[in-house]
């Protein structure tokens, strides 16, 4: 349609940016802190700055925007901020990729500066503009980035508060570690991934005899500290108290019985290696086994692995297997697919590494967590199970320190002598312990005067779990502050319930003993056209920039409105085409309507049955849609309006009133005015109800046709429609429905007979029961005028409905 752009055509490529600028310039979405009305506050997800928005963003952010625009029209004082999440591993990786550098090669200070500069000058402004481009109705002046001074201050204050509450501790212990990112990570960052591997039968030696042990991780042989079997396993009972010699490495380890050994797995006897997995760590603790670390933080083998030292884990694995083969110590090998833990950011297999890390203590709160989850209103309700499932599986306290460069620093120094923790003063926040001095001259515990700064940064989720504070505290010095928190709504996609939603609830409960919001709305995923997950590796990713180029933001949103909240939705080009058709149709219908409204004076005229029929039907849709929207079911509203507009309004009502509009001398001036009144008000209602879903075309129509009379500066600031109660008329509704039924038969008769629709018919006979005949007589004029029928006669029949005899 863009090729034929003209005055008579709507061109979304020109119009959409035009209205987005208008909304900005006119402050249409501006939150007014001084307005007394009820506040609807939204904890907008701050998207991770990634350079480009993806189709999943367009999908779930559209859903929340539908709700927000609806609430705004319902009269709420809407607080809808926007933030960007731009620190931590994802941002570091983005900058490394974009600038072709490696943080570790660059040095910390230089890399942090590069990150700040690239974000501020290149990535962030372009990124934010993309979010505007999909029609988000945020107040862009309520803006934060999770790395700015405001957010660093709040994040560090949160750390200090939780430390004082006794909710944080630092511990030197084995933790989950990503050798690629070279940092400790938390449980939520682990993902299950199925990988090809092999079970290797490896020969140990006990008293000169072979003992075969199966393992998937032969590279851990140098870290082996014991062998375990189940005490009831008669195959191995006789080894009690003996020592086994580890192949290739030739040192001895004890053979021990333990209930936790699984006789069904592999050969039923297992090696326990330092930090091999969680079981190994439990055994290490429970049996006071020695610690032999074979894998270093960079994912390479350590000195204890002898000639394999310096190799990467995978290289060491295959080298050791080769050497075992050569020595005749590998008696079997079976390919398996098994599930391993990988880091969700980089897909690297997770290792365990002993290191000093900070944790938030919360494993003791599992019962409370479940209760917190129950106190939220979940839309859809079943999403609560994901929260509960996560809580049930929680095994680790929250590891919040990261051995990275770009993020919020810990506001912490340590006494160089006694390791006492020295916290920053609140009034000094935000601080960077690497460049700022601690607030004391002497250690309060031992009096020593040298301090070591904490070099780690906070987990990015430790900051983004504070978003309700990050945005509302922008109004900290205003009286409205107290009314902003807890917030009304947290919208988000389901994949980060365990990351973001859960962590935000935890922080809010710890800090304020309340949930951060009342409602949570959870979107599903956008899928590829075949209903599969989109991924770069599958090559099935739909690029929203292409979609916007070919169609429009309105059509993209129209597609996104096509499924129930929480459901996954395959990308469907057909739906975008349907969206474009809707735009063209409502554009044309409005032009037609207003051709006949140039002399309209706003009066009601004398409403006829067809007008009352339309208002009664429309009122029912307003009621149902409002109710649906209140339950976050925007898809129902979209479907109802779409159907009403195409079928009831365009196919019938506009056709039925043509005679009244074109021939006022025949039907009377008051009848014409009533038609104008009905056209105007029903079209305005349709435009308003579609405004949350398709904000641009509806703004265009409002500004072009309605603003002169309505005055409100934007359709998005108008009031959501109320049902037209005073026109409710059941009899008119029935009569109108019969009229539609009769007209449909007339149309079918004409098209079957290859006649023009305006071809005049001499006469028809309608068979209907007494009641329906009475109703049809009320709309006989409309039937004749619309169907181009000279004469109508009636025959009494049984049953419901209408049957027309065209041979009469």
Binding window for Zn ion (CB under 5 A); candidates: 36-44, 75-83, 179-187, 278-286: 179-187
Q: Which two tokens stand for residue 303?
A: 């000195």
Selection from 148, 145, 141 nearest residue 80 by Cα: 141
Distance CA 456, CA 408 (A): 9
Q: Least distance to Zn ion from the beta carbon of 417, Å?
A: 5
Cβ 176 to Zn ion, closest distance in Å?
A: 10
Identify the three-state secondary structure at position 356. strand
What are the distances in angstroms from CA 56 to CA 167, 379, 526, 567, 571?
36, 19, 5, 13, 10
Name the minimum Å distance from CB 442 to Zn ion: 8
Provide the b/e sequence for 453-474 (b: ≥16 CB within 10 Å): bbebbbbbbbbbbbbbbbbbbb
Quote the least distance from Cβ 171 to Zn ion, whole Å: 19
Q: What are phi and psi of 369, to 5 degrees?
A: -55, -45
Identity of the residue, 89 or 569, whose beta carbon is nearer to Zn ion in the bound complex: 89
Which is closer to Zn ion, CB of 42 or CB of 313? 313
Q: From the CB of 447, what's the least distance to Zn ion, in Å?
A: 7
Nearer to Zn ion, 444 or 799 (CB): 444
Q: The tokens of 372 are what? A: 């917190």
Phi then psi for residue 793, to 5 deg, are -125, 160
Q: What is the rounded (10 degree) CA torsion for 718, 723, 727, 733?
A: 130
- Span near Zn ion by CB under 5 A; candidates 118-126, 180-188, 514-522, 561-569: 180-188
From 341-349, 362-370, 494-502, 693-701, span contacting Zn ion (CB under 5 A): 341-349
Can you tell me the distance from the alpha carbon of 336 to that of 329, in angstroms, rounded to the nearest whole number? 20
Q: By CB under 5 A, tell whether 344 contacts Zn ion.
A: no
Q: Which stretch binds Zn ion (CB under 5 A): 177-185, 489-497, 600-608, 638-646?
A: 177-185
The smaller minimum CB distance to Zn ion, of residues 119 and 415, is found at 415
- Measured from the CB atom, the residue of 425 and 445 that comes closer to Zn ion is 445
Q: Which of 446, 666, 770, 791 binds Zn ion (CB under 5 A)?
A: 446
Q: What is the DSSP letter of 48?
A: B
Q: How far is the CB of 38 from Zn ion (least distance, A)?
A: 45
Rounded to the nearest whole angstrom, what is the least distance from the CB of residue 181 to Zn ion in the complex?
3
- For residue 336, state whether it binds Zn ion (rule: CB under 5 A): no
Reduced to 3 states, what is the DSSP secondary structure of residue 710? helix
Give the pairing of strands 451-453 and 269-273: unpaired
Q: Which is nearer to Zn ion, 213 or 422 (CB)?
A: 422
Query: x/- binding map, residues 708-747, to Zn ion, per CB under 5 A?
Result: ----------------------------------------
Q: How far is the CB of 50 from Zn ion (least distance, A)?
A: 16
Count residues near Zn ion (CB under 5 A): 15
Rounded CA separation 428/412 (Å): 12
The CB-of-339 to Zn ion minimum distance in angstroms stands at 18
Minimum distance, C-beta of residue 444 to Zn ion, in the bound complex (Å):
8
- Alpha carbon distance 479, 497 (integer Å): 32
Q: Which residues have C-beta within 8 Å of that of residue 489, sequence separation ≥ 6? A: 40, 41, 42, 43, 64, 67, 517, 518, 519, 520, 521
Residue 448, interface with Zn ion (CB under 5 A)? yes
Closest CA to 79 of 508, 465, 468: 468
Structural tokens at position 580: 């474009």
Which residues between 382 and 421 bind Zn ion (CB under 5 A)? 415, 417-418, 420
| Binding status of residue 346 toward Zn ion by CB under 5 A | yes
Q: What is the DSSP string of 442-473?
A: S-TTT----EEE---EE-HHHHHTTHHHHHHG
Residue 343 within binding range of Zn ion, rule CB under 5 A = yes
Is the Cβ of residue 89 or residue 471 nearer to Zn ion in the bound state?
A: 89
How near is the Cβ of 443 to Zn ion at its closest, in Å?
3
* Lookup result for tokens 């042989």: 221
Q: Under rule CB under 5 A, which residues in 609-648 are in contact with Zn ion?
A: none
Which stretch, 61-69, 339-347, 454-462, 522-530, contacts Zn ion (CB under 5 A)?
339-347
Burial class (CB in 10 A: 0-12, 13-18, 19+), 651: middle
Among 11, 180, 323, 729, binds Zn ion (CB under 5 A): 180
DSSP class of residue 759 equals: P
Q: Which is nearer to Zn ion, 452 or 728 (CB)?
A: 452
102 vs 790 by CB, closer to Zn ion: 102
Q: Is 443 in the site for Zn ion (CB under 5 A)?
A: yes
Contact segment (CB under 5 A) with Zn ion among 447-455, 514-522, 565-573, 651-659 equals 447-455
User: Tokens representing 601?
Assistant: 């004076």
Encoding tokens for residue 412?
A: 């912490």
As measured in angstroms, the least distance from the Cβ of 180 to Zn ion is 4
Q: Which of 69/345 has CB closer to Zn ion?
A: 345
**Whole-angstrom Cα distance, residue 145 to residue 233?**
59
- Dihedral over Cα of 131, 526, 461, 123: its sign: negative
Closest to Zn ion by CB, 349 vs 604, is 349
Q: Report the site for Zn ion in 45-104 (rule: CB under 5 A).
A: none
Burial group, residue 306, by CB count within 10 angstroms (0-12, 13-18, 19+):
exposed
Which residues is 145 bridged to in the sheet? 84
Q: Between 11 and 344, whose beta carbon lies closer to Zn ion?
A: 344
Q: Which residue in the set 28, 119, 178, 586 belongs to the binding site for Zn ion (CB under 5 A)?
A: 178
Q: Please report how many Cα atoms fall inside a 13 Å half-sphere around the Cα of residue 282, on the Cβ side.
A: 9
Site stretch for Zn ion (CB under 5 A), options 77-85, 181-189, 373-381, 763-771: 181-189
Q: Is 349 in the site for Zn ion (CB under 5 A)?
A: no
User: Looking at 28, 147, 181, 424, which residue binds Zn ion (CB under 5 A)?
Assistant: 181
For residue 804, give the 3-state DSSP assignment. strand
Looking at the Cβ atoms of 193 and 417, the one nearer to Zn ion is 417
Is residue 445 a contact residue for Zn ion (CB under 5 A)? yes
Based on CB atoms, which residue is closest to Zn ion, 258 or 420? 420
Q: Which stretch binds Zn ion (CB under 5 A): 176-184, 244-252, 390-398, 558-566?
A: 176-184
Structural contact between residues 260 and 195, judged by C-beta atoms closer than 8 angstroms: no
165 lies in the binding site for Zn ion (CB under 5 A):
no
CA 97 to chain centre: 25
Smaller CB distance to Zn ion: residue 445 or 631? Answer: 445
Q: Which is nearer to Zn ion, 233 or 420 (CB)?
A: 420
Provide the pairing of β-strand 224-229 with 209-215. Answer: unpaired
* Positions that interact with Zn ion (CB under 5 A): 178, 180-181, 343, 345-346, 348, 415, 417-418, 420, 443, 445-446, 448
């Amino acid at each position: 349609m863009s090729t034929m752009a003209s005055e008579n055509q709507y061109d979304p490529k020109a119009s959409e940016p035009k209205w987005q600028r208008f909304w900005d310039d006119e402050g249409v979405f501006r939150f007014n802190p001084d307005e007394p009305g009820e506040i609807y506050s939204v904890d907008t997800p701050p998207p991770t700055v990634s350079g480009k928005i993806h189709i999943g963003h367009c999908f779930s952010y559209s859903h929340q925007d539908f709700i927000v625009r609806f609430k705004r029209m319902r009269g709420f004082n809407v607080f809808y901020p926007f933030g960007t999440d731009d620190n931590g591993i994802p941002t570091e990786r983005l900058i490394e990729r974009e600038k072709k550098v490696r943080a570790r090669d660059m040095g910390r200070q230089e890399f942090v500066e590069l990150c700040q500069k690239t974000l501020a000058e290149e990535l962030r402004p372009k990124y934010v503009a993309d979010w505007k481009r999909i029609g988000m109705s945020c107040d862009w002046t309520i803006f934060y980035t999770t790395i700015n001074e405001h957010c660093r201050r709040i994040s560090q204050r949160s750390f200090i508060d939780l430390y004082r509450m006794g909710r944080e501790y630092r511990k030197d212990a084995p933790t989950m570690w990503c050798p690629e990112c070279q940092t400790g990570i938390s449980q939520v960052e682990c993902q299950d991934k199925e990988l090809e591997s092999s079970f290797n039968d490896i020969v140990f030696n006990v008293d000169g005899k072979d003992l075969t042990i199966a393992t998937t991780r032969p590279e851990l042989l140098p870290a082996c500290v014991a062998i375990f079997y189940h005490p009831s396993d008669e195959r191995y009972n006789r080894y009690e108290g003996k020592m086994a010699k580890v192949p290739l490495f030739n040192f001895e380890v004890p053979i021990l019985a333990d209930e936790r050994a699984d006789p069904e797995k592999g050969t039923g006897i297992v090696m326990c290696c330092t930090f091999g997995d969680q079981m190994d760590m439990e055994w290490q603790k429970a049996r006071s086994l020695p610690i032999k670390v074979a894998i270093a933080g960079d994912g390479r083998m350590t000195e204890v692995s002898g000639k394999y030292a310096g190799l990467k884990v995978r290289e060491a694995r295959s080298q050791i297997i080769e050497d075992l083969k050569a020595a005749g110590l590998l008696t079997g090998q079976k390919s398996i697919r098994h599930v391993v833990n990988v880091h969700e950011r980089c897909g690297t297999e997770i290792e365990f590494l002993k290191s000093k890390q900070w944790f938030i203590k919360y494993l003791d709160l599992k019962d409370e967590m479940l209760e917190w989850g129950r106190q939220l209103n979940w839309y859809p309700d079943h999403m609560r199970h994901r929260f509960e499932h996560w809580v049930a599986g929680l095994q680790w306290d929250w590891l919040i320190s990261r051995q990275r460069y770009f993020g919020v620093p810990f506001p912490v120094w340590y006494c160089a002598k006694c390791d006492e923790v020295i916290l920053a003063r609140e009034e000094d926040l935000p601080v960077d312990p690497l460049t700022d001095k601690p607030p004391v001259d002497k250690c309060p515990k031992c009096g020593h005067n040298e301090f070591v700064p904490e070099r780690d940064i906070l987990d990015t989720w430790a900051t983004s779990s504070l978003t309700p504070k990050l945005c509302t505290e922008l109004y900290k010095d205003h009286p409205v502050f107290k009314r902003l928190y807890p917030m009304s709504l947290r919208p988000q996609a389901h994949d980060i319930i365990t990351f973001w939603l859960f962590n935000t609830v935890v922080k809010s409960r710890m800090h304020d003993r309340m949930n951060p919001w009342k409602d949570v709305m959870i979107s599903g995923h956008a899928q590829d056209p075949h209903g599969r997950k989109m991924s770069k590796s599958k090559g099935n990713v739909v690029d929203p920039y292409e979609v916007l180029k070919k169609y429009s933001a309105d059509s993209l949103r129209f597609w996104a409105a096509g499924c129930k909240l929480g459901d996954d939705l395959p990308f469907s080009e057909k739906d975008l085409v349907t969206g474009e058709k809707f735009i063209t149709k409502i554009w044309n219908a409005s032009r037609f309507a207003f051709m006949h409204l140039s002399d309209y004076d706003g009066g009601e005229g004398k409403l006829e049955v067809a007008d009352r029929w339309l208002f009664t039907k429309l009122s029912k849709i307003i009621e149902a849609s409002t109710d649906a929207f209140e339950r976050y079911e925007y898809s129902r509203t979209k479907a109802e309006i779409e159907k009403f507009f195409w079928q009831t309004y365009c196919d019938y009502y506009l056709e039925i009133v043509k005679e009244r509009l074109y021939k006022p001398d025949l039907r009377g001036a008051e009848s014409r005015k009533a038609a104008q009144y009905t056209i105007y008000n029903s079209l305005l209602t349709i435009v308003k109800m579609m405004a949350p879903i398709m904000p641009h075309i509806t703004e265009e129509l409002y500004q072009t046709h309605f603003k002169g009379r309505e005055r409100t500066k934007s359709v998005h600031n108008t009031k959501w429609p109320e049902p037209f109660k005073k026109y409710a008329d059941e009899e008119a509704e029935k009569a109108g429905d019969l009229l539609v039924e009769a007209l449909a038969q007339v149309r079918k008769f004409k098209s079957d007979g290859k006649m023009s629709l305006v071809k005049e018919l001499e006469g028809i006979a309608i068979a209907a029961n007494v009641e329906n005949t009475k109703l049809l007589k009320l709309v006989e004029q409309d039937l004749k005028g619309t169907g181009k029928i000279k004469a109508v006669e009636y025959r009494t029949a049984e049953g419901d409905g209408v049957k027309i005899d065209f041979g009469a």
